[in-house]
Structure 1
């Protein structure tokens, strides 16, 4: 995925995370989902067509873009149509599987830094899937927390490091540890007693 795309992925993950957590309404997040989703899908398809069917990694890269782009478009469309969210939920389940595929591809092709981002995104899409189908406040808040965390750890910071030219020199071990900690953060919110989660929201912590 390109550096600019990752920066904007971070922006939308932050917005959608805040929707789950409560400070932002679903309708307020529609514009950023539509704009970034359309931009990412259009850019990925325009890049994939000239590459042709012989450039396997270019096509996998376009697939990665589209996984995110269609997520954002689906979220925005579902909100505008007042849909129940089950379609987005099933899509996120599929996206979690695609994230696992892309993690394996990047590990096997010698790009462990990007592969670790895809490992994180497996957890992200799985969290969205569980939130959609359980309808549970516990799963919803955990999904919001991991989305906000990953907006920084898998989107904004990696994108800026790529733009700066320092991503390729950044320690793979540090990247891996940060991604594992992000996933553990999701699990911590998931198992946190309800009274603690509610108290944190009321105090703004």
Structure 2
């Protein structure tokens, strides 16, 4: 059931990325945030209620389910905030909480759940929600474009594609997947920054000849 939710996490991240890039109207995106936010609250609630007994499997299910609320509350907060015209500071500082929590869930994925790909994916999410803190909490609007691209890419890499592979039973070698995810994230997001980050970094990249005073 959580894999179905992950698929739509990918969808809403992609849509939110397009919103940050100015391709999608914010109110239109807000409605879909409410849909997915509701799903990401209902799903973990069902998983927790249906977990039986003090077994390790039940404990792991509850651990996994508890992390889903971080996403559900984020999307509900974003959707309601846009439609109500609220300041983004609250979402920004909640995103800081999510980013810190995501590091903990990454450690748990590696150490407790023995799921290294999702250990890496949680680090992706920690990075993304840290960007939300910087953009919405600290109001560093120069990073909006970079954050939009990272959001859209993560929608596919951490949401839609893993969910589809899990739903079809095509998720195979977890160690290779973890290494590939880690390498992809480091290379792509580092290369993306000078192309889409603050104007000064883009200017340095595109400067082809020295200025008269250099």
TM-score by length of 1: 0.87
**In 1, are the aligned partners of 2:2 and 2:43 still within 8 Å (CA)?**
no
Q: Distance in 2 between matches of 1:195 and 1:10?
A: 28
1:175 and 2:178 matched: no
Q: Which residue of 2 aligns with 1:111?
A: 115
Count matched residues: 197
1:12 and 2:12 matched: yes
Q: Who wins on radius of gyration, i.e. which is larger?
A: 2
- Pairing of 1:1-205 with structure 2 (within 5 A): 2-51=2-51, 54=54, 55-109=58-112, 110-169=114-173, 171=176, 172-185=178-191, 187-188=193-194, 189-191=196-198, 193=200
Q: Distance in 2 between matches of 1:153 and 1:81?
A: 31
Q: Distance in 1 between matches of 2:103 and 2:183?
A: 18
**Considering only aligned residues, what root-mean-square deviation do their CA atoms show, in Å?**
2.2
> Unpaired segments of 5 or more residues in structure 2?
204-214
Change (3 A) 1:169 1:12: same
Change (3 A) 1:106 1:12: same
Using the TM superposition, give the Cα deviation of residue 135 of structure 1 relative to its aligned residue in structure 2, in angstroms. 2.3
Q: Distance in 1 between matches of 2:192 and 2:119?
A: 19
Deviations 1:82-104 (A, max 9, x none): 10111111111100011101000
TM-score by length of 2: 0.84
